[in-house]
């Protein structure tokens, strides 16, 4: 019939690869994680670094010091642009890791995933407030939950814990922990949880990486704490 596509042309068209169009331009190479070394620890990709360490994929990413950035960004592995925002990057890292690490996002149960998302969204909603208000809000919200529980969701450390810890300013250093302790009631469950989080090896390593990206600062962790050397292949840029 008139206007019909020749069989050879149709076959060639069907065999054409399904290539995603370039969405955004980025100067970042694939798997480069860039952030400004002049901002506070809470404004660096501490959540993303912690999740990458917990999923044993930190070696896949190259940390890049970029004084021109106001936030953090990750060059997508495909080279097709970049994703911005600490929580967005953290979710991406967790989802592309081994399926055994899905517990970080709530696992395979829909209700657990919804609970995880609820806490992460709550942590994000607090970003517009000052530290004192954020700390008291988190303390009053978490205390009833942590009276009998250790973690925010489930029985292991998850993205919900890391996101809420970051809302407290990522208090992994002695100075930052003391600041939160002055705000919250002495002996409250949230302070116990904060201490547990700050002693997590993943949180300690993430702090080391986030603070040391420009080779011009060193985190002061718990007195006497010794950090393992960076994983082979990791380097401050």
CB 72, CB 86: distance < 8 Å: yes
The predicted-structure confidence for 113-163, as pLDDT tens digits, reads as follows 899 999 999 999 999 999 999 999 999 999 999 999 999 998 889 999 999
What is the pLDDT, as a whole number, of residue 133?
97
Q: To the nearest whole number, what is the mean pLDDT of the chain?
A: 84
CB 87, CB 44: distance < 8 Å: no
Nearest Cα to Cα of residue 198 among 157, 141, 155: 157
Q: How far is CA 136 from CA 20, 178, 198, 199, 215, in A?
A: 45, 14, 18, 21, 34
Half-sphere exposure of 126 (CA within 13 A, CB side): 25
Residue with tokens 């829909």: 110
């Amino acid at each position: 019939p008139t206007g019909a596509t020749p069989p050879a042309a149709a076959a060639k068209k069907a065999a054409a690869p399904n290539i995603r169009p370039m969405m955004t331009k980025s100067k970042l190479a694939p798997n480069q994680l860039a952030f400004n070394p002049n901002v506070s620890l809470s404004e660096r990709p501490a959540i993303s670094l912690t999740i990458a360490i917990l999923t044993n994929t930190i070696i896949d990413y190259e940390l890049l010091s970029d004084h021109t950035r106001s936030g953090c960004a990750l060059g997508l592995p495909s080279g097709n642009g970049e994703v911005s925002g600490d929580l967005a990057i953290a979710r991406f890292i967790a989802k592309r890791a081994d399926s055994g690490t899905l517990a970080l996002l709530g696992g395979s149960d829909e209700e657990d995933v919804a609970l995880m998302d609820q806490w992460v969204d709550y942590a994000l909603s607090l970003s517009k407030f000052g530290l004192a208000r954020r700390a008291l809000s988190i303390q009053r919200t978490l205390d009833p939950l942590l009276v009998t529980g250790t973690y925010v969701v489930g029985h292991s450390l998850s993205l919900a814990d890391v996101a809420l810890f970051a809302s407290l300013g990522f208090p992994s250093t002695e100075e930052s922990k003391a600041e939160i302790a002055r705000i919250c009631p002495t002996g409250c469950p949230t302070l116990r949880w904060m201490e547990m989080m700050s002693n997590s090896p993943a949180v300690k390593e993430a702090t080391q990486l986030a603070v040391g990206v420009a080779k011009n600062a060193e985190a002061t962790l718990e007195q006497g704490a010794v950090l393992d050397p960076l994983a082979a292949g990791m380097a401050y840029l």
